[in-house]
A and B are shown apart, each in its own frame.
Chain A
Amino acid sequence: MASLHVLANPARFRRFSQKVLPVLSGATALVLAVGLYLALVESPPDYQQGETVRIMFIHVPSAWLAMAGYALLAGLGAALLVWRHPLAALMARAAAPVGAVFAAVCLLTGSLWGRPMWGTYWVWDARLTSMLLLFFLYLGHIALSRAYDDAERGDRAAAILALVGVINLPVIKFSVDWWNTLHQPASVMKLGGPSIHPAILTPLMVMAAALLLLFVVLVMVRTETEIDRRRLDAAERAQ
């Protein structure tokens, strides 16, 4: 855990991210270019979904990252509440909107995928519905962290919500799945398809890597901003 401690000090994190970010954003651009090429040009249309499988290359990775993002919020929340990590609060405040955007993109691409496949923009599919609720949990986290004049109070309240939220996510997923099988005719095809055809797997993985790198870059940029914003507030209050 020494590395976590080394970065614990926000100033040291800032110096680290300033060094790493240029390299990381270069890598992100590169992997994204490769991914887009594979996704849009190289890969064949899927035997079931036809061309629309290309939407999957955005939809599925953003779903993974939206969920991973919330787990990150919970982890940072625990770090803040248990060890009073100053950086954890700032990174959580930076990461929440990023996770929310990934969830939103996942929902929108999901509905754009649904229109040609099922004829409607919104299907109460179990995964889409769970993603919608995850999106609300993100909104709650963002709103709560900004609901107090004392930013640190907001960070700690949002951290508690994230921990409770992450415990409830599987419960929400389970209940929505149950609710879905109850009301939805069984014939609805699962979003990811029964088994992912190898030709689809590579572009999916490359795009997932690209979006993961993008997620990290976004969080690091926003964390730098949050660190500076907190220093600005401290300076203003000290006057």
Chain B
Amino acid sequence: MSHTPFIIGAYVVALLGFGGLLVASLLARRRIKRELGHRGLERR
């Protein structure tokens, strides 16, 4: 029973978990910054 599928699986899990969180966080930051922009409150 070769182990490679489990190894690949582990790294895919890491990619989905960490990558997914990173993308979600960046998108959330952009959305909030745009909303602040609409209200004319964004930073200099």
How far, in Å, is A150 (CB) from chain B's closest CB?
Answer: 19
How far, in Å, is B29 (CB) from chain A's closest CB?
Answer: 4
Chain B, interface residues (CB within 8 Å), range: 20 to 34
A200 within 8 A of B: no
Report whether B28 and A225 are in contact in the complex, using a CB–CB cutoff of 8 Å.
yes
Across the interface, B32 reaches (CB within 8 A) one of A50, A116, A218, A225, namely A225
Report whether B14 and A235 are in contact in the complex, using a CB–CB cutoff of 8 Å.
no
CA of A163 to CA of B11, assembled, Å: 33
Question: Which of chain A's residues have a CB closer than 8 A to the CB of B25?
Answer: 218, 221-222, 225
A228 within 8 A of B: yes
Report whether A225 and B29 are in contact in the complex, using a CB–CB cutoff of 8 Å.
yes
Given contacts A101-B21, A105-B13, A105-B17, A113 and B32 within 8 Å (CB-CB): no
CA of A205 to CA of B23, assembled, Å: 25
CA of A52 to CA of B1, assembled, Å: 12
Chain A, interface residues (CB within 8 Å), range: 20 to 34
Given contacts A101-B21, A104-B17, A116-B1, A228 and B33 within 8 Å (CB-CB): yes
Instruction: Tell me which of A54-62, A84-92, A140-148 binds B.
Output: A54-62
CA of A232 to CA of B21, assembled, Å: 22
Chain B facing A: main interface SS: helix
Question: Which of chain B's residues have a CB closer than 8 A to the CB of A58?
Answer: 10-11, 13-14
Across the interface, B17 reaches (CB within 8 A) one of A50, A51, A101, namely A101
How far, in Å, is B3 (CB) from chain A's closest CB?
Answer: 5
Residue of A nearest to B40 (CB): A235
CA of A218 to CA of B19, assembled, Å: 10
Encoded as 1 (CB less than 8 Å from any B CB) or 0, chain A from 66 to 101 comes to 000000000000000000000000000000011001
In chain B, positions 5-39 with a C-beta closer than 8 Å to chain A are 6-7, 9-11, 13-14, 17-18, 21-22, 25-26, 28-29, 32-33, 35-36, 39
Q: Which A positions have Cβ atoms within 8 angstroms of B?
A: 14, 40, 50-52, 54-55, 58-59, 62, 97-98, 101, 104-105, 108-109, 112-113, 115-116, 211, 214, 217-218, 221-222, 224-225, 228-229, 231-232, 235
Other A-B pairs beyond A52-B7, A231-B41, 14, CB < 8 Å: A51-B3, A54-B10, A55-B7, A58-B10, A58-B11, A101-B17, A105-B14, A108-B13, A116-B1, A211-B18, A221-B29, A225-B25, A228-B36, A231-B36
Can you give 10 A-B contacts (C-beta < 8 A)? Answer: A51-B2, A52-B3, A55-B10, A104-B17, A112-B6, A214-B22, A221-B29, A222-B29, A228-B33, A232-B41
